[in-house]
Structure 1
Amino acid sequence: MKRKSFKDVDCPIAQTLERVGEQWTILILRDALRGKRRFDEFQTSLDIAPAMLIKRLSALVEARLMERSRYCEKPARYEYLLTEAGREFQSVIQALIAYGNAHYSAGKPAVNFVDTETGRPVDPIMVDRLTLEPLRAPRFRLVDRDKP
């Protein structure tokens, strides 16, 4: 079954899903944020078919979330580096992990965020930059550009 394209949909969620809405893509970005760079590192970590990994990495390069850089001439070998946009995806990964830990971990999160200075686990939340208030209803809500 062919996946529906969101390329022409005027919505930031749809536009983001057009680029990262496939499950392998988000897991590749997660691994890249953990420091993985090379094809074999992604393949080993994800246990993904080579053809699928090639397809997903190419899509990430095309979406400008990663860039391909040669690290060996003979044979030609490449690594995949996060771009600025790719590094900024970390907040999305953090939100997915926090949500998964809260709702699907059965009390034992497989992944935590920790303060690198203290080792203390941290609980990430998204806040308004101006007020530093958590973005939660009823105070905050989604609205379309043309509607108050």
Structure 2
Amino acid sequence: MDTLFNVLHVVSAVFIVGPLAILPMTAMRAVRAGNASQVRTLAKSTTVFSGLSLLVVLFGFAVMGMSDPKYKTSITTPWILWSIVAYVIAVGITLFLVVPSMRRAADALDGATGPGASAAPAVAGVSAAATPTSTGYPAIAAGSGVASLLLVLVVVLMVWKP
């Protein structure tokens, strides 16, 4: 049974946390392209994957609970505790900084392409009325970058187990 939970933990990490880290980066491309509907869809998807990432945590707790007592793993084991802290911070940044920034970017892009939008020429696929900076692009980039680094830290701690 412990092998099953190990497999579920790793597979869910790959197929849930992987997209959670990549979707905001895809949204940055959509912001640069001025595609508001795609940014909005990616914000929803990022929110869904953030929630689904709790499965990875649950499977991890199952693995920890079934581990051999000689390893003495618990929630207070330093590498497990730091992994949980890094995960919580990463998901918090994603849900409270990145996703709202993506939604604001979609709204700004909608405003730039809606009625009365500027007829100025587009620069790099984004209209003059909605530049990447005015759409919150830096917040998406910085937040998703920090969240991704924290998720990498979780992987390192899970493999290294210092």
Q: TM-score, normalised on structure 1?
A: 0.29
Q: Which structure has the bigger radius of gyration? A: 2
Q: TM-score, normalised on structure 2?
A: 0.28
Give the number of the structure with larger relative contact order, counting CA–CA contacts within 8 Å between residues 6 or more apart: 2
More helix by percentage: 2
